[in-house]
Amino acid sequence: MRDEAILETRGITKRFRGLVAVDRFDIAVRERTIHSLIGPNGAGKTTVFNVITGIYRPEEGKVLFAGQVLNGLKPHEILALGIARTFQNPRLFRNMTCLENVMAGQHAHGRAGFWASLLRLPHQRREERAIRERAEEWLRKLNLWYFRHELARNIPYGCQKLLELARALAAQPKVLLLDEPTCGLNEAEKEAMMGFIEGLPKEGLTVLLVEHNMNVVMGLSDWITVMNYGKKIAEGTPEEVYNNPVVIEAYLGRGEERAP
């Protein structure tokens, strides 16, 4: 149906003891699109992220990135290939400055080893300068410049979410996995975050988005995959999904009951 997928899972299954968190799940994310993964709480969305990024190993199935099988690779190797992520609750390096946090994104692209760092060889100094300058660029782009020397744990929650995004973007990924980027943000921050995510495909990025906020999902997505109890129950364009009775029953119906 959709062939130019850059990121694909084929029949992945992840079990925790008896619980099947993800059950023969397929998803195909097309290049330069915003693809949303939605579903009720506990549907297995974050587990899919953890399988793709190599934090969990699936019992069955394959994860493919640009034709390459990712199974068995470690998280840092997967990042180096071009898949970066953010976390539902920001997992920042809390006792380090915002600048240092964003510099983390470029760790995988750095070359300087132990001896070069120890002796501060010329190429290491050049690389350090480049890493810092690129990190500073991202801080400016996401309006975090003011906080650059502040410890990550001291900045407001909304900025922490942005900082995590900056850190992931600094890794220069091809695919960006965002786990509830607008969760816990106020309206203004939500707008800013959405505006930013919307512009990413134009810069060549592919976004896989987990999100609970329907306005965000319907407004941003090119394609939506719905999952429940670890299985894919529907997929399609926002309109198709919005009018799909299976989805309404599984997700939107319940969502309306506990209005935000």
**Which of the residues 157 through 216 are near other proteins (CB under 8 A)?**
167-168, 171
Nearest to 33 by CA among 181, 169, 204, 255: 204
- Burial call 68-100: b when 16+ CB within 10 Å, e when fewer: eebeebeeeebbeebbbbbbbebebbeeebbbb
Stretch that binds other proteins, among 5-13, 113-121, 226-234, 235-243 (CB under 8 A): 113-121
Minimum separation from the CB atom of position 110 to other proteins (A): 5
Q: Tell me which of 19, 69, 118, 130 binds other proteins, using CB under 8 A.
A: 118
**Which of the residues 3 through 22 are near other proteins (CB under 8 A)?**
none
123 binds other proteins (CB under 8 A): no
Q: Tell me which of 20, 64, 66, 80 binds other proteins, using CB under 8 A.
A: 80
Q: Which distant-in-sequence residues (6+ apart) come within 8 Å of 194 by Cβ?
A: 182, 216, 219, 220
Q: Tell me which of 41, 68, 72, 114 binds other proteins, using CB under 8 A.
A: 114
Q: Tell me which of 20, 64, 66, 151 binds other proteins, using CB under 8 A.
A: 151
**Which of the residues 83 through 102 are near other proteins (CB under 8 A)?**
84-85, 87, 91-97, 99-100
Q: Tell me which of 57, 62, 74, 126 binds other proteins, using CB under 8 A.
A: 74
Q: Which residues bind other proteins (CB under 8 A)?
A: 53, 55, 74-76, 79-80, 84-85, 87, 91-97, 99-100, 103-105, 107-110, 112-114, 117-120, 124, 127-128, 131, 149-151, 167-168, 171
